Structure formats: C-alpha cells, structure tokens
Amino acid sequence: MCGRYGRRADKQRIAEWFRTHNTNVFNDSELAPTYNAAPQSFQPVIRLNPETGEREIAIMKWGMVPYWSTTVKLKYSTINANADRLTTSGVWREPFKSRRCLVPANFFFEWPVVDGEKQARAFSLKDDSPFAFAGLWDRWKDKETGEVLESFAIVTVEPNEWMAKYHDRMGVIVEPKNYQRWLEPGEVHSLPFDLLRPYPEEDMKSWRVSDKVGNTRNNWAELIEPVLDDEPKSERASKRAKPKKKPPPRGLFDDF
C-alpha cells in the first residue's frame, strides 16, 4: 500500500486559502510544506469545528481508522474511499454523512507504465494553485488507554479521459466555491453527491519527475522538478537511489 501527494503551502498560505481561524495553535514545523506525503504520515486537513461551525485545521493520520474498530491496525487499506461505496460501506457511511474534510495539496504522484517502464509523474492544476481533495475523517479511541487518534481518507472516483491514460482512479478535487458544501454535515437527501466527479482535464497538467519520490524518506522541493523524457536512462539511473528488490510504489488512488 503506497501513495503520494505534496503541498507547497505553509501555515499562512493554508489559513489564507481555506479561511481557517486556528493556525495559532500550531507551530511552523507542524504545517511546513511537504513534497512527499505518504500513507500513515500525519497531515493537515480542514474541517468544521463542531462547536463553533468555523473552519479549522486539524493534524490527522492518513489512513482512516473507523471509530468502531477494535484495533488501530487494520487488515485493509483506508487511505482511499471509493465514491461508489460511501453509502454502502460501514467504514465510510457515517463519515460521509457527518465527518467530511478537505485535504490541502498542490500536486500528487502516480506511476504509469510507459513503453514498458514505470514512470514517476506529478499532477497538478495548470495554474499551480493549491487545491483540496475531498476527504473523510474519523475519531478512534482506545478503550484501555483512552488514546485518541484522528485520521482521514481521500475520496476517489473514475478519472477523466486524460487522467485515465495514467490511472483508473483519481481523487475528487473540490472547487473553492464548494468547500462549505463539502464540509457541512447533512442528512442523506442533502449529501453532496454531485461533487463526486472527476476534475476537468483541461485544467490539469502532468510532468515526469525523479524516481526518488518512490522513497518515502525523500522529502524536498527538487522531487517535483521536471525530468525530460528524452534524458538518457544511464543519466537518470545515476540520479536515483540504488534500486531495491521490491515492487514499484502503487499510485495514490489505487484501490485495495
């Protein structure tokens, strides 16, 4: 299980973009940019404060643990929530109804096969602006220790025609005008099903990046610099870490 996305935005930029009101409770390192966010890492999400109704930032673990689970270690992947199962799966049903969130990002990675070769590629909006994945979150509590864990998943749908060349799923990207609709809880008849759609392909772009993004320990801005497709393979190989005998990373939106 593996997926990647990244965020250039720091604490101030997140607060401005999402109009949050609680950035003062976090230090700069907790909301620093990340260029290689991976499953099981802790990342910022935007949700509505249950008491004030205002948008707030929360730091959550990527890989949602349902509130009813008896253990924090699940036997199945919950980094992605298939939009087709949001109302039928016991994992997603309640979070979709009342615990939706926004996941700040600037880009994500996939590993399509091109001419028989796995290629690391980055995807973003054409204007490079921040965007938000549609997310779900939950709060799990250890009955013995009282430990509380908040965690999230990214909702996925079938891709647009352009994205389908690279992967058979894509994350739901919520437009700013729909942020509040996505965040507000509601009954079944008022749930934002119409927002569960692929983002327009004409507003997206993609470029090849270094294979070093496949290593979760690598996290620096150079990871998203373009790699020319016609760059000699020997030169590309010299730039990346020594390969290990394991399958290449799965994409952000692989379903399990």
Q: Looking at the predicted structure, is the pLDDT value of residue 182 above 60?
A: yes
Task: Give the predicted TM-score (pTM) of the model.
Answer: 0.87
What was the pLDDT predicted at 235? 45
106 in Cβ contact with 122 (< 8 Å)? no
Integer Cα distance of 229 and 210 in angstroms: 11
Helix (H) or strand (E) holding 118: strand 117-118
The mean per-residue pLDDT over the stretch 215-237 comes to 76
Integer Cα distance of 168 and 108 in angstroms: 15
Q: Is residue 135 part of a domain?
A: yes
* Torsion angle, alpha carbons of 235, 239, 240, 243, to 10: 50
What's the domain count of the chain?
1
pLDDT confidence tier of residue 232, bands split at 50, 70 and 90? very low
Integer Cα distance of 9 and 103 in angstroms: 12
What was the pLDDT predicted at 25? 67
* Residue 251: both structure tokens together: 């994409």
Instruction: Verify whether residue 101 is a known catalytic residue.
Output: no
Highest mean pLDDT out of 228-232, 243-247, 252-256 = 228-232
Q: Is residue 87 part of a domain?
A: yes
Q: Is residue 256 part of a domain?
A: no
Q: Is residue 244 part of a domain?
A: no
Q: Is residue 252 part of a domain?
A: no
Q: How far apart are the first and last CA of the chain?
A: 8
Q: Is residue 247 part of a domain?
A: no
| pLDDT per residue as tens digits for the range 49-94 | 988 889 999 999 999 999 999 999 898 999 999 999 999 999 999 9
> Could you tell me the CATH number of the domain that includes residue 55?
3.90.1680.10
CA 200 to chain centroid: 18
- 56, 101, 110, 150: the catalytic one is 110
Integer Cα distance of 122 and 111 in angstroms: 9
Range of the domain at 104: 5-239
Q: Is residue 110 part of a domain?
A: yes
Q: Is residue 248 part of a domain?
A: no
Helix (H) or strand (E) holding 57: strand 55-62
What was the pLDDT predicted at 173? 97
- Quote the radius of gyration of the chain (alpha carbons, Å): 18
Instruction: Verify whether residue 51 is a known catalytic residue.
Output: no
